[in-house]
């Protein structure tokens, strides 16, 4: 492995510092707060999808975060919930975010 020069080390350290500051700002802005969102896509069989907030940012959505859905040992959605999950694409929802993991902590779908 090639050793970094002092200039390369300084550039690397500066980049890491910028990324850390940006990450901390993201956590401060989003963590454990509620936002209006739209389900952009959702695969009912895998139980995974994405929501998009009004500010345009996208967040990972796991079926276990959706209120009213059987957690089914957190592996994959229960058979009885598949019809409902297949219909949520494009729905509005209120989400609470877990910024450390870049994912939705809870999701309340707006029906009607």
- Segment 52-92, tens digit of pLDDT: 999 999 999 999 999 998 887 778 898 899 999 999 999 99
Per-residue exposure over 32-63, b if at least 16 CB sit within 10 Å of its own CB, e if not: eeebebbbeebebeebebbbeeeeeeebebbb
> Which residue carries 């949520």 as its tokens?
88
CATH (residue range 32-109): 2.40.50.140
In this prediction, residue 111 has a pLDDT band, given cuts at 50, 70 and 90, of low
User: Which pTM value belongs to this model?
Assistant: 0.78
Mean pLDDT, the chain, integer: 90
Predicted local confidence at residue 99, as pLDDT = 76
Report d(CA 89, CA 37) in Å as an integer.
12
Mean pLDDT of 95-108: 86
């Amino acid at each position: 492995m090639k050793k970094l020069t002092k200039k390369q080390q300084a550039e690397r350290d500066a980049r890491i510092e910028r990324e850390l500051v940006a990450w901390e700002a993201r956590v401060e802005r989003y963590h454990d707060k509620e936002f209006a969102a739209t389900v952009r896509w959702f695969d009912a069989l895998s139980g995974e999808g994405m929501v998009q907030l009004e500010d345009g940012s996208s967040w990972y959505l796991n079926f276990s975060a959706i209120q009213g859905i059987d957690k089914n040992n957190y592996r994959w959605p229960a058979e009885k919930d598949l019809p409902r999950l297949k219909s949520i694409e494009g729905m509005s929802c209120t989400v609470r975010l877990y910024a450390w993991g870049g994912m939705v902590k809870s999701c309340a779908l707006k029906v009607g």
